[in-house]
Chains A and B, each alone.
Chain A
Amino acid sequence: MTVFKKYLGYRLKKAVLPTLAFSLIALAITSFYARVSADGFMAAVGPMGIESLATIMGVIASIIPMLETARFKSRRNIDTLWFLPLSRFKMALVHYLSGLFQVFIIYTVAFVGHFLCLLDFSEHFKLQYMPLYYVLLLLLGVIVYSVFIFLFGEANGVADGVISSALWIFALYAAVSALGLPIKLYAVEYIYGGYNSAFYAFAREYSQFSAWFIPFAPINNLTVVFQSVMQGWKNYNDCEIYWPTFAEAINRSFKHWYMVFPWIAAGIASTWGYFRTFCRKGAEKAGDISGSAFCYKTLIPIYGASLIFMSTEGDGFTFFLTVAAMYIGYSIYRRSFRIPKSDIVTILSVIAGSIAFMLLTNGAFS
């Protein structure tokens, strides 16, 4: 047996106990949720509660990558690992697969528990779609897992990795939503000619679209679709249930389904990026300041600009708050209250750029 297979076996063996613990917690949560939810508060049966499965998947697919690769953020740990006769690529692969295996087991246990609980209510739900939901959620979970293992890997320290991963959850959403404000102002002025129903439809559409920029959006939206198909749409007045087709469910809740493809691409790119960074990053970087473009360098300006855009009034207090927040961000990044000139230039550029953009899109200061 090769060293790679032996090390993978070793890692999986080491993962048994934490996986078992996580599985039991996940099983307890989903089973409890399934019973409480399906037992219903009106009519005979309530919702299926499969959103608990999506939540479990979101949590484990974002946390396990961190637990699995945190050891590579410590110089002392790297000293005892990287001289071993296993290439960095294989080392990276072992930890990628080991984490993925844990996600698979925990999710599967939770799913089976949930499914068994729902069997008591099988006549009320179209449970034949559950296997398909299981597979699709698992595949989308792999994308989330890949995105987070990459984002965490870009940081040089555990704390930086946790902070940047957490910030990335809403970074793109915040940026797209923030850009939406001037766009909406422009739309109300020049496209729809005021706050009319056409404008509100556009605003709702934009809001749905921007929600796709949260990494958990694919698993959340998939769950909404399957929930619709499997438990139907209830008319609460006469307790009638309408059973929508997949096409109808997608049209209502999954309208921007094409956004799955950028996330698939992001998952593939993240996997590639994880291996690339793992193989190329010098051991001496461990514990150092996280200077990657996928950490603070990009996140601080994104959140800075978003803070300005999202404020309804572009007043002095907003700018003060933005400067203060960005300064705190850069202090955390640099681990010093003395930040370099380049960071000061970035803060000023974000302020200037935001003002210019808001002026160009007209009306933000009105």
Chain B
Amino acid sequence: MIEIKNINHSLGGKEVLKNVNLNVKEGSVMGLVGINGAGKSTLLRIVSGVYTPCGGEVLIDGESVLKESTREKLFFLPDDPYFTMYTTGAGLFEMYKVFYPAIDAEKFREYLTAYAIDEKKPIRNWSKGMRRQLFIALALAVKPKYLLLDEAFDGLDPLSRLTFKKAINEAVEENGTTVIISSHSLRELEDFCDSYALIDNQTVASSGDIAENVNKLCKFQLAFKEKAEESIFAGLPVVSLEKSGRFFRVILEGNTAEMAEKLASLSPAVMDEMPVDFEEMFISEVQNRGYTK
């Protein structure tokens, strides 16, 4: 289990994280979400031991992440991993074998074959996506107990994303790996994350089970015979509201049946219930917090 306790951190005199508390259950896949500059990468660096927090601590299985033995259990894949002019897949494998003796060579080559990557070629001329595939293959071959991935989908094509998601699911099922993954691809996260944490205003603004939180919301599309104003929804627990002529798309917080009944009382000509996804939940959350982009 990963316990993030009262983390405070500043970068260049600017407070980036403030009183962050979060628990990540063993075997879970947590999506770390937030707008650009929210502090997701900083939090991942702190959880992996790259940054020493200004305040608070990170415990992994009850031990500080700053301890050498604790870090044997984790692998961190940053958003832009370093490589030199001559770095090859084989060279990287050789280096990580020093630190993770149990790294699975067979698995590594299996992933490389799946991604059609030549481990002997220097990676400097590869696309960002190809390099990411290589590092993902390394991370998965290490079979860490805790896997921390920053912007993991960045640069991956749709097919590679699918392979990657399958591999993550396998790792969770076969090795009981706990994954924290930050990404802006919320639809991708929704596919395989069971929980999430939203970083906003330098702290964890909300967190929990994705399905549970999505189910707290309901979405309807309504059309009125006459021109109507947004004010007709006043008094309802509106999370998000979009208007286009006589059409409205509204996301409400609460029980679907109860909300449907309340909306029906507004006498719309047409009213359809629609599914809410994780991305809509995220957008609603951040918009409610004052972001208008």
Contacts and interface: CB of A to CB of B under 8 A. Distances in A.
A283 B95 CA distance: 21
Nearest to B52: A282
A10 interface: yes
A84 B71 contact: yes
A77 interface: yes
Given A7-B99, A83-B71, A282 B78 contact: no
B153 interface: no
Interface string A8-28: 011000000000000000000
Interface stretch (B43-51, B177-185, B189-197, B261-269): B43-51
Contact of B78 (A10, A76, A86): A76
B81 A76 contact: yes
A23 B197 CA distance: 54
A76 B94 CA distance: 19
Nearest to B49: A83
Contacts of A71: 82
Interface string A65-84: 00000010010111110111
B257 interface: no
A6 B75 CA distance: 18
B99 A85 contact: yes
A39 interface: no
Interface in A26-83: 71, 74, 76-80, 82-83
Contact of A284 (B11, B68, B80): B11
B181 to A, nearest CB: 15
Contacts of B99: 3, 6-7, 84-86
Given A282-B51, A282-B52, A85 B71 contact: yes
A61 B116 CA distance: 44
B170 interface: no
Contacts of A284: 11-12, 51
B50 A6 contact: no
Contacts of B95: 10
Interface string B79-103: 0111000000000001100111000
A79 B76 contact: yes
A3 B72 CA distance: 10
Range of interface residues on B (Cβ < 8 Å): 20 to 34
Nearest to B99: A84
A98 to B, nearest CB: 13
Contacts of A78: 50
Contact of A76 (B11, B51, B71, B80): B80
A87 B100 CA distance: 15
A343 interface: no
Nearest to B68: A87
B78 to A, nearest CB: 4
Interface in B21-52: 45, 48-52
Contacts of B52: 282
A284 B52 CA distance: 9
A80 B82 contact: yes
A80 B84 CA distance: 12
Contact of B82 (A10, A77, A83): A77
A83 B72 contact: no
A83 B98 contact: no
Contacts of B148: 83
A78 B80 CA distance: 11
Nearest to B148: A83
Nearest to B16: A284
B45 A283 contact: yes
Interface string B211-250: 0000000000000000000000000000000000000000
Q: Which of B11, B51, B75, B94 has the most CB of A within 10 A?
A: B51
B98 A79 contact: no
A6 B98 contact: yes
Nearest to A279: B52
Contacts of B48: 83
Interface of B: 11-12, 45, 48-52, 68-69, 71-72, 74-76, 78, 80-82, 94-95, 98-100, 148
10 contacts: A7-B98, A10-B94, A10-B95, A79-B78, A79-B81, A82-B49, A83-B48, A86-B99, A283-B51, A284-B11
Given A6-B99, A85-B71, A288-B12, 19 more contacts: A3-B68, A3-B98, A3-B99, A7-B98, A9-B98, A79-B81, A80-B81, A82-B49, A83-B49, A83-B71, A83-B74, A83-B75, A84-B99, A85-B68, A85-B100, A87-B68, A282-B51, A284-B12, A284-B51
